[in-house]
Chain A
């Protein structure tokens, strides 16, 4: 092969970029190397090497009926996986059934360990409305001073006449207007 011919004939039609002279020379070198002929007898040597290579791929051959290349084996494997998963799920479901009533755990035997001695915890109830019994109000009406105040016509503001109503166990105090003394 001529070097000049190799330079001239190798124009990469797939390259979209125009190259300068320097890079064209550089690529010509690469093309020259890429176009070097292979040594004589390469194919024969390669074939001989391949023939003499140990074929470790098929030490154990599958019978034709059980060949893993068949589609049925893959299907059977998938079915087996599905069967195992579904069977396991059903086994768990059949053992653990959901129950409506909450079953209290059995009282442990006293000999086996601590026990609660039959004590049952009673939850604390909510406190009822607290009623405070007021102290009995003693209404004292001075009999003697009343006529004197009325006589004077003096009205004391801020003083109310208190009337006590008792209903059941509740006591309310109601204002009934200004009290005159």
Chain B
């Protein structure tokens, strides 16, 4: 049992008894802090993979835990907290992405150049790598929405296809078929771009 689950179990016990609100608030706070320390990093990476902006991703993580705080009474019904939290942050970042205007590709390049690891690379290699990554991301952005979502989530090693299906609310076979289509489309686009050079 993880730390958060242990505290969560204690929280349930507290909620069923008639303790004062102060103790309950403290228990809730401890639970939430445990959730933050355990899952904030993963949620940030999910948010960043969609938004590709550090500040926006951090805001999305913040909003995720605020939603958890708002629905803390239903936490006892959650079976897999990790997938549940990823689903929340996924919906938040998709909503933000939908609202935000399309950013120019140079922004992605600058952001990638800022966050990409540069150890062991010369300046030219680093610039070429950043350009390559930006080109790949622009091809990913051209994918259909369903295929793009599955491809983006499949990049997270800690998410199995079952968990991706749970986050997206589809079946596992749909995840596999969409991933297959996404890879084929990506191969076509990258080959086309390579032949044009």
Binding site for B on A (CB under 8 A): 1-4, 6, 10, 12, 14-17, 19-20, 22-23, 25-27, 29-39, 42-43, 45-47, 49-51, 53, 55, 57-58, 61, 64, 69
How many A-B residue contacts, CB cutoff 8 Å?
136
* List of A residues within 8 angstroms of B18 by Cβ: 64
Query: Do B187 and A42 have beta carbons less than 8 Å apart?
Result: no
B23 at the interface (CB under 8 A from A): no
Query: Do A15 and B120 have beta carbons less than 8 Å apart?
Result: no
B121 at the interface (CB under 8 A from A): yes
* List of B residues within 8 angstroms of A38 by Cβ: 40-41, 44-45
Contact among B36, B155, B176, B186 with A22 in the assembled complex (CB-CB below 8 Å)? B186
Query: Do A27 and B29 have beta carbons less than 8 Å apart?
Result: no
- CA A31 – CA B133 in complex, angstroms? 11
Given contacts A1-B117, A17-B183, A22-B194, 14 further A-B contacts (CB under 8 A): A1-B119, A3-B117, A6-B117, A15-B154, A25-B132, A27-B154, A30-B151, A31-B155, A42-B40, A42-B41, A46-B61, A46-B65, A49-B62, A50-B36
Give 4 nearest A-B pairs by CB, closest first: A30-B155, A22-B190, A64-B18, A38-B44
B129 vs chain A, min Cβ distance (A): 6
B157 at the interface (CB under 8 A from A): yes
Query: Do B115 and A3 have beta carbons less than 8 Å apart?
Result: no
- CA A4 – CA B120 in complex, angstroms? 9
Contact among B49, B54, B115, B180 with A30 in the assembled complex (CB-CB below 8 Å)? B49
- CA A27 – CA B157 in complex, angstroms? 12
- CA A41 – CA B137 in complex, angstroms? 28
- CA A49 – CA B60 in complex, angstroms? 12
B80 at the interface (CB under 8 A from A): no
Contacts A30-B151, A36-B45; is A42 near B136 (CB within 8 Å)? no
Query: Do A14 and B61 have beta carbons less than 8 Å apart?
Result: no
Contact among B58, B151, B179 with A39 in the assembled complex (CB-CB below 8 Å)? B58
Query: Do B40 and A43 have beta carbons less than 8 Å apart?
Result: yes
- CA A47 – CA B136 in complex, angstroms? 35
B37 at the interface (CB under 8 A from A): yes
Query: Do B180 and A43 have beta carbons less than 8 Å apart?
Result: no
* List of B residues within 8 angstroms of A29 by Cβ: 132-133, 136-137
B110 vs chain A, min Cβ distance (A): 14
B45: nearest chain-A partner, CB-CB: A34
Contacts A23-B187, A38-B45, A58-B21; is A33 near B155 (CB within 8 Å)? yes
Contact among A19, A49, A58 with B183 in the assembled complex (CB-CB below 8 Å)? A19
Near A by CB (< 8 A), chain B positions 25-48 give 25, 29, 32-33, 36-37, 40-41, 44-46, 48
* List of A residues within 8 angstroms of B190 by Cβ: 22-23, 25-26
* List of B residues within 8 angstroms of A22 by Cβ: 186-187, 190-191, 194
Contact among B62, B69, B137, B161 with A55 in the assembled complex (CB-CB below 8 Å)? B69
* List of A residues within 8 angstroms of B152 by Cβ: 30
B40: nearest chain-A partner, CB-CB: A43
Q: List 22 A-B contacts (CB under 8 A).
A: A3-B121, A6-B117, A12-B157, A17-B179, A20-B183, A22-B187, A22-B190, A23-B190, A26-B190, A29-B137, A30-B154, A33-B48, A33-B49, A35-B45, A36-B45, A38-B40, A38-B44, A45-B62, A50-B36, A53-B69, A55-B69, A64-B18
